[in-house]
Amino acid sequence: MSIGNATTLSIVLKEDAQALDEVLVIGYGSGTAIGTRLGSKTTVTSKDIEGKPTANALEALQGRVPGLSVLTSNGEPSATQSIRLHGSGSLGASSTPLFVVDGIPVDAGSIVSTNPDDWESITVLKDAAATSIYGSRAANGVIYFKSKQGKAGERSNITARIQKGTNDLASRKHIENFMNTQELRAFWLETGFRTQAQIDQISATYGDDTFDWGKYYYRENTSYGEYNLNISGGSPRTTYFISGGFYDQEGIMYRSGFKRATLRSNISSKLNDWARVGLNLSGGQDKRQSNPYNSNNTNGGLSLLALPWYSPFDENGEEYYGVTIPGLGRYSPRYLADMMPTNNVNQQFNPTAFVEIVPIKGLTIKSQAGMDYFNYRITSLRYPSYAGALGNGTVSEEWQQGAQRTMTNTIDYRSRFKEVHDFSILFGQESTKYTYSSFSAGGSGLTDDRLLLLGNTIADSRSAGSSKSEFAYNSYFGRLGYSYSNKYYFDFTLRNDASSRFGKNNRNATFWAVGLMWEAKKENFLKDVDWLDNLSVKASIGTQGNSSIGNYESLATVGSTVYNSAPA
């Protein structure tokens, strides 16, 4: 085209839209194209989590990952869910998957204390080909949480989200199926359990009405609220994501609730063409209030067994508060919860920092350090004014503190030659150390509802206890990957774990996996088949381990006790 003497040019760019390979970060290395991962996995993205009325991200996984079971033993909003990916694979060791946040292993309770709105993706790794890189802690699967990051060159985005709602039992059919007063009395007569005279006496004493114990023990339409604010963006060299959140849920039982405040700051900066650093800071505090009768107790889970003609209200509609319910012989659940409250406060801190350098094209050297820290306080009371033990209140306090420190160093090299051969190799070393300690004290003999400290208990009734536990890992691992023409893939992983949990003569364990994949759809004889979108053939074999066996099982330990009024 000849421009000639024109001084103004009108140029229109032609769109050339192409799909980019999604990158799956799996904890070690710089990430792998998701199509080249041979292992079995499922990824839940932020779009699947956002806007869901869930207390934590574990609840958000329910129903979204094939084979993943998310269960709770009670309805407390602060409960940590029981997660099972491969069922219960051990009678003595844990069956809980390994949880990894931005490359750092954490405890399941740490996920409960974090804001689910902060996660960019949650990837569930299932089979040995996907998890053997995590070695002795991978037998129950691995769940990898990746927090949100800002994007380079993106203008600041401010996102605010408020959710309000109510909570209720998922179903009340089991409550509605109980017999009412007339049905139960007729059944007793028919079976001969009671005579007509006895039925008449019950009717004269308690009346013929039916009381709905289900609505009394399990409240309806309790409140729920979630408030999130985050700011993200970046310059060509530095990216950031800063978020704050507050969660408040009232349980369906009396004195049951969960309040959580969280803060997160993720910052990554490219110092020059070959060096990058990053710092992720996540912390928060939550308050957990639980009803002491949420298990199989007649004041909780078994409350529906109360006979339908008993009522916690007198003829004037006043609740029996501080006195037992006539006929039932129990105090009202509201009174019990008020008199014996349990309040727990947890402080969570999860920092992660890394340094990454790229000395030559394709070679990435990375060092990362992180910590999973919690400080947990448990306070249990029985007020002196409790009618069941008037003038003899009790108090107990317990502090638990745990810190898991992880240091990971990796060398990752990737190369492509002759446009058809893709090669990657990873070497790494990782060390983990966990320390836990607790202290508890309690006493009885409190006489005044205004004096509830341990110092107000009777000296002879006071007790104290403490505990300490530690474990450590030192690991070496590697991964070798190769693909030809983006159709044929090979992957090999190897890891050796040394752990303080293993016996002295069997301190190390080695785990491996081999996988192959064929992208058949890319073959010429299938490329033009319109009704077939994708066809991949995979085969893999490998080993996994379960080191959640206790910290001192291989050691002959001693303990202290009292024998014949003397320490032993």
pLDDT in tens, 156-176: 999 999 999 998 888 888 888
Cβ–Cβ < 8 Å for 86, 18: no
* Average of per-residue pLDDT across 456-462: 93
Same domain, 94 and 165: no
Q: Does an H or E element contain 421, and which?
A: strand 421-446
Same domain, 380 and 459: yes
Query: Does the structure show a pLDDT above 70 at 21?
Result: no
* Domain membership flag for residue 528: yes
| Whole-number pLDDT of residue 16 | 47
* Average of per-residue pLDDT across 172-186: 90
Same domain, 200 and 137: no
- The angle at the Cα of 316, spanning 314 to 322, to the nearest 5 degrees, equals 45
From 76, 377, 57, select the one nearest 249 (Cα to Cα). Answer: 76
CA distance 150 to 241: 5
CA distance 86 to 140: 6
Q: Is the dihedral of CA 193, 199, 203, 209 positive or negative?
A: positive
> Average model confidence (pLDDT) for the chain?
88
Token digits for 547? 């080191």
* Domain membership flag for residue 100: yes
Query: Does the structure show a pLDDT above 50 at 472?
Result: yes
Q: In angstroms, what CA-CA distances link 559 with 402, 471, 568?
A: 22, 19, 9
* Domain membership flag for residue 319: no
* Domain membership flag for residue 374: yes
Token digits for 538? 């995979």
| Whole-number pLDDT of residue 478 | 94
Same domain, 476 and 338: yes
DSSP state of 81: P
Rg (CA), the chain: 30
From 60, 48, 58, select the one nearest 81 (Cα to Cα). Answer: 58
Same domain, 231 and 362: yes
Give the residue from 154, 179, 208 where a domain finishes.
Answer: 154
For residue 136, give the CATH number of its domain: 2.170.130.10
Same domain, 260 and 173: yes
* Average of per-residue pLDDT across 6-35: 56
Same domain, 41 and 137: yes
From 544, 428, 425, 528, select the one nearest 476 (Cα to Cα). Answer: 428
Token digits for 326? 């006539």
Q: What is the pLDDT of residues 117-132, one digit of tens each?
A: 999 999 898 888 888 8
- What is the model's pTM? 0.87
| Whole-number pLDDT of residue 25 | 55
Token digits for 92? 């003595």
How many CA atoms are closer than 13 Å to the CA of 369, on its beta-carbon side? 3
Same domain, 464 and 377: yes
Number of H helices, E strands in the chain: 10, 25
| Whole-number pLDDT of residue 2 | 58
Give the residue from 96, 120, 154 where a domain finishes.
Answer: 154
Query: Does the structure show a pLDDT above 90 at 307?
Result: yes
Same domain, 447 and 341: yes
* Domain membership flag for residue 10: no
How many CA atoms are closer than 13 Å to the CA of 557, on its beta-carbon side? 9
Q: What is the pLDDT of residues 370-405, one digit of tens each?
A: 999 999 999 999 999 999 999 999 999 999 999 999
Residue 247 structural domain: 158-290+333-537
CA distance 31 to 23: 6
Same domain, 420 and 473: yes
Token digits for 177? 């199926």
User: What HEC string does 184-248 produce?
Assistant: HHHHHHHHCCCCHHHHHHHHHHHCCCCCCHHHHHCCCCEEEEEEEEEEEEECCCEEEEEEEEEEE
* Domain membership flag for residue 567: no
* Domain membership flag for residue 551: no
Please tell me whether residue 339 adopts helix, strand or coil conformation. Answer: helix
* Domain membership flag for residue 7: no
| Whole-number pLDDT of residue 287 | 95
Same domain, 222 and 353: yes
| Whole-number pLDDT of residue 157 | 93
Beta partners for residue 281, in sequence order: 265
Where is mean pLDDT largest: 43-47, 62-66, 350-354, 544-548?
Answer: 350-354
Give the residue from 133, 154, 175 where a domain finishes.
Answer: 154
| Whole-number pLDDT of residue 17 | 43
Same domain, 409 and 476: yes
| Whole-number pLDDT of residue 467 | 93
| Whole-number pLDDT of residue 20 | 44
* Average of per-residue pLDDT across 102-109: 91
Question: Looking at the 3D structure of the chain, how many domains does it have?
Answer: 2
